[in-house]
């Protein structure tokens, strides 16, 4: 999204690396150690913290007293739309719906931040190490299993299911 783009541009300026026409994926794959570490931390921690505070901490929270599931739908949809790139909007909106459900069931932003940061880390590592071709299946399954397990546990603890 926009936050990731700003962070990537700042790192490019700071490191004086010319990404040129190669694009972000190829630049991430060839980036030396410390600039990649800086990129990794800023693209995993920063968006997970800031975006979750806004979308699940503010937008969704405003709906919690009246209609938590409408809040999940609104915050997830807005989350997808802010990621501008048409190829990302739908998938990011679905991710936002899952993070919203996680927020409602867990009652906390922390699992959302952890899941969001983990997702971003997996995407960035897949770009760096050339796993992009396998990304949709294995990443989707890993996130689905992890989020599903957490949701079931949290739902049982909070009395949503027996």
pLDDT digits (tens, 9 = 90+) for 64-109: 899 999 999 999 999 999 887 777 788 889 899 989 988 988 888 9
CB 41, CB 105: distance < 8 Å: no
Give the range with max mean pLDDT: 8-12, 67-71, 129-133, 143-147.
67-71
| Helix-helix angle 86-106:68-81, to 10 degrees | 150
Cα–Cα distance for residue pair 33/19, rounded to 1 Å:
16
| Helix-helix angle 33-54:2-15, to 10 degrees | 150
Whether the pLDDT of residue 135 is over 60: the answer is no
Cα–Cα distance for residue pair 104/83, rounded to 1 Å:
22
Give me 47's structure tokens: 């968006």
- Return phi, psi of residue 147, to 5°: -65, -40
Residue with tokens 């409408």: 70
Tell which residue, 64, 63, 59, 62, has the closest CA to residue 76: 59
pLDDT digits (tens, 9 = 90+) for 14-51: 666 565 545 666 666 676 777 778 878 888 888 899 99
């Amino acid at each position: 999204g926009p936050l990731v783009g700003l962070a990537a541009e700042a790192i490019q300026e700071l490191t004086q690396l010319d990404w040129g026409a190669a694009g972000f994926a190829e630049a991430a794959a060839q980036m030396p150690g410390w600039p990649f570490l800086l990129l990794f931390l800023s693209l995993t921690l920063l968006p997970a913290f800031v975006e979750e505070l806004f979308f699940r901490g503010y937008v969704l929270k405003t709906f919690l007293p009246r209609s938590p599931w409408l809040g999940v739908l609104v915050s997830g949809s807005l989350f997808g739309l802010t990621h501008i790139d048409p190829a990302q909007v739908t998938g990011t909106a679905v991710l936002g719906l899952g993070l919203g459900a996680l927020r409602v069931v867990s009652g906390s932003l922390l699992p959302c931040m952890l899941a969001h940061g983990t997702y971003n880390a997996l995407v960035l590592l897949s770009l760096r190490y050339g796993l992009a071709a396998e990304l949709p299946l294995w990443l989707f399954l890993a996130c689905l299993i992890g989020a599903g397990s957490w949701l079931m546990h949290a739902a049982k603890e909070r009395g949503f299911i027996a």
